[in-house]
Amino acid sequence: MADYRRSAPADPLPVPLTVLGGTDDPDVTRDDLAAWAPYSTEPLRLRMYPGRHFYFREQEHDVHHHLTADLDRAAR
């Protein structure tokens, strides 16, 4: 995520964030994804899936399952 720049400081969101990535992504590392943690007052949920940048095409079922579970948890 070397090209990402935040334009202005912002207060962290009072909601949990789920950040997804591919374990073999050459462009976005686990550390890049973990860098989203300061944008929330809640613990970050970092989920890594086998694959490269478009891991979700091969992991569609698992991604949908985990996102649905996280949304259900947040709605309660």
Task: Compute the C-alpha angle 42/45/48, nearest 5°.
Answer: 165
Q: Are 22 and 55 in contact (CB under 8 A)?
A: yes
pLDDT of residue 65: 93
Which tokens in the block code for residue 59? 């992991």
Q: How far is 12 from 42, CA to CA, in rounded Å?
A: 9
Per-residue pLDDT for 1 more than 60?
A: no
Q: How confident is the model at residue 49 (pLDDT cuts 50, 70, 90)?
A: very high
Cα 54 from chain centroid? 14
Q: How far is 21 from 50, CA to CA, in rounded Å?
A: 9
